[in-house]
């Protein structure tokens, strides 16, 4: 039986961030990661709000060395080719003008090595396979299995589940709920020879709307470009050809993107992933908490996943500190962690549910800064939603204008609502809708 203060399941951005912070505060920390870094992971576009977190973690220089600077985002309509650029420098707080696009294998490796440098014990190629949380007062018991077939038992005062979309603990606690208001799937790959923007716009992420969802175009610093389609489940279900061909067929449905990829070739195999929007009914217990995707996963259209995962790790460490060293403050600290963990997915979700509607497309294509609405929207897109930037009144105005515009076009809005209801239903439950 091995012993530690905090056992972390998973060495992705959430787990590695939590492990580094806790080890630095003097706790004994063990990170159990089933893969070996560097390993592939999707999710390459970061937000400006990530940068202060890198500084606090002490990895800012390493991330800068591997990252492609991302100064903004472009939204393109595949129906008429219209496009709109958003620059983070125009956000409410002008001090966070850029972010990075990163290859996740390199980025995640930086974070887990940083955790080891900070003093955490890191075990790769080792999978957590069973957990007994006990009664909350006794230590957590954890069974792990190594690649070589060997197994070990661990005892920990506190358990952190950062197992990503595997949702290790939520599956066992049966507290994971499919998001009934959203449902999508994704197909993606890396391309060589894609047409890049010039100058500072080279690192922009481009989002292309098309009939079955939207595409991302993410330029990486080594010349490769990550291209993926987030589509309604019925569309992925309609696949009859191999994944590589299906991705290329799908790209052909979006002429402005197809043009940028006309001289490009797929590097390696494309991948597809199924329905993936969920949230857990709880984010903590007396001796455990859920971080990042292990708690919730929202649609990646605003590139928020890594930022939310790291932010939940920072908040989680304060709560764990209280649980282990100041039990009288534990309950309040866990509640504060819960509040912060719910805040991010909630703020992005309002926009995610509407981003493919004609009204929202119109507002993105012709952004107005009346009542500082555009600056507030850009701050949200930058991930600046936790601090003191006073964006909330302007975001409420934005939502009000959205409502008024929807009412001005009742038939279009009713049709969009109907179509969306059809689009988000689980793939098995009916034929593909038109349009």
Ligand X SMILES: Cc1cc2nc3c(=O)[nH]c(=O)nc-3n(C[C@H](O)[C@H](O)[C@H](O)COP(=O)(O)OP(=O)(O)OC[C@H]3O[C@@H](n4cnc5c(N)ncnc54)[C@H](O)[C@@H]3O)c2cc1C
Q: Could you list the residues that contact ligand X (CB under 6 A)?
A: 9-15, 32-35, 41-46, 127-128, 162-166, 168, 186, 188, 228, 273, 276, 292-294, 300, 303-307, 309
The smaller minimum CB distance to ligand X, of residues 67 and 164, is found at: 164
The smaller minimum CB distance to ligand X, of residues 341 and 394, is found at: 341
Smallest separation (angstroms) from ligand X to the CB of 410: 34
CA–CA dist 340, 293 (Å, integer): 14
Smallest separation (angstroms) from ligand X to the CB of 187: 9
The smaller minimum CB distance to ligand X, of residues 11 and 139, is found at: 11
The smaller minimum CB distance to ligand X, of residues 278 and 402, is found at: 278
Smallest separation (angstroms) from ligand X to the CB of 148: 15
Smallest separation (angstroms) from ligand X to the CB of 292: 2
The smaller minimum CB distance to ligand X, of residues 6 and 416, is found at: 6
Smallest separation (angstroms) from ligand X to the CB of 274: 10
| CA distances in angstroms from 259 to 77, 253, 301, listed in the order given | 14, 11, 22
Strands 140-146 and 185-192: unpaired
Smallest separation (angstroms) from ligand X to the CB of 80: 26
Asked if 261 contacts 227 with a C-beta cutoff of 8 angstroms, the reply is yes
The smaller minimum CB distance to ligand X, of residues 124 and 286, is found at: 124
């Amino acid at each position: 039986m091995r012993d530690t203060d905090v056992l972390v399941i998973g060495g992705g951005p959430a787990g590695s961030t939590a492990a580094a912070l806790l080890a630095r505060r003097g706790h004994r920390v063990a990170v159990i990661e089933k893969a070996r870094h560097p390993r592939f992971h999707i999710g390459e576009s970061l937000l400006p709000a990530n940068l202060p977190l890198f500084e606090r973690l002490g990895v800012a220089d390493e991330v800068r060395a591997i990252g492609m600077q991302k100064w903004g985002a472009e939204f393109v309509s595949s129906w008429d080719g219209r496009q709109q650029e958003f620059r983070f420098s125009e956000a409410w707080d002008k001090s966070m003008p850029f972010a990075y696009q990163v290859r996740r294998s390199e980025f995640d490796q930086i974070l887990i090595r940083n955790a080891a440098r900070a003093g955490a014990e890191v075990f790769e190629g080792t999978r957590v396979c069973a957990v007994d949380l006990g009664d909350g007062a006794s230590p957590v018991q954890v069974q792990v299995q190594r690649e070589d077939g060997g197994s070990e038992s661990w005892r920990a005062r506190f358990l952190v589940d950062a197992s990503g979309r595997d949702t290790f603990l939520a599956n066992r606690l049966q507290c994971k709920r499919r998001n009934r208001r959203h449902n999508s799937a994704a197909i993606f790959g890396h391309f060589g020879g894609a047409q890049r923007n010039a100058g500072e716009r080279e690192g922009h992420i481009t989002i292309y709307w098309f009939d079955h969802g939207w595409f991302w175009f993410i330029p990486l610093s080594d010349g490769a470009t990550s291209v993926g389609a987030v589509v309604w489940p019925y569309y992925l279900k309609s696949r009859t050809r191999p994944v590589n061909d299906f991705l290329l067929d799908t790209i052909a449905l979006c002429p402005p993107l197809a043009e940028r990829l006309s001289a490009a070739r797929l590097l390696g195999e494309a991948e597809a992933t199924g329905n993936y929007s969920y949230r857990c009914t709880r984010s903590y217990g007396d001796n455990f908490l859920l971080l990042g995707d292990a708690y919730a996963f929202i649609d990646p259209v605003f590139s928020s996943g890594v930022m939310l995962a790291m932010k939940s790790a920072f908040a989680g460490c304060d709560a764990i500190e209280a649980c282990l060293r100041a039990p009288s403050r534990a309950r309040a600290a866990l509640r504060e962690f819960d509040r912060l963990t719910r805040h991010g997915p909630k703020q992005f979700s309002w926009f995610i549910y509407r981003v493919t509607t004609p009204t929202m497309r119109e507002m993105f294509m012709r952004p107005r800064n009346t009542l500082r609405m555009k600056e507030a929207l850009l701050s949200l897109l930058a991930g600046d939603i936790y601090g003191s930037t006073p964006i909330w009144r302007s975001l409420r105005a934005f939502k009000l204008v959205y409502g008024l515009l929807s009412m001005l076009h009742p038939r279009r809005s009713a049709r969009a609502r109907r179509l969306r209801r059809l689009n988000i239903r689980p793939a098995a439950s009916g034929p593909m809708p038109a349009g």
